[in-house]
Amino acid sequence: MKWVLCMIMAMLIFSGCGWGKSHQIMMGTYIIAHAVDIMQTREILSDERFYELNPVLSGLNRDQATGVMILDTLLVAGLANEFPKYRTWIIGIPMSLALACVFNNWKIGVTF
């Protein structure tokens, strides 16, 4: 849990430097939703009542899946920083997916 909070803080501090307010809000929303999704994925992978639908994560253990998901977050932040013309799409698509995953996981009973 501590590493997730550290990731959130680091990303919020460093990813939005020189960005407009709307992109900072979008990135913050994505990071928070993705952090919740990481915690839910960790629960899914350790609880036999649930199964992971993402084929990339389904064969991994909790720590490996967490590492992949944190790298994913860093990739989104890096791409958004490097391609400001497409920043809205680069952040918006994964943000929407993360929010949808969190909602679906919550709907089937996954907490964290």
**pTM, two decimal places:** 0.83
5 vs 27: CA distance, rounded Å: 15
Quick check: 3 pLDDT over 90?
A: no
- For residues 60-84, average pLDDT: 91
**In 3D, which of 3, 8, 2, 42 has the Cα closest to residue 27?**
8
Quick check: 13 pLDDT over 80?
A: no
Q: Tell me the pLDDT band of 17, cut-offs 50, 70 and 90.
A: low
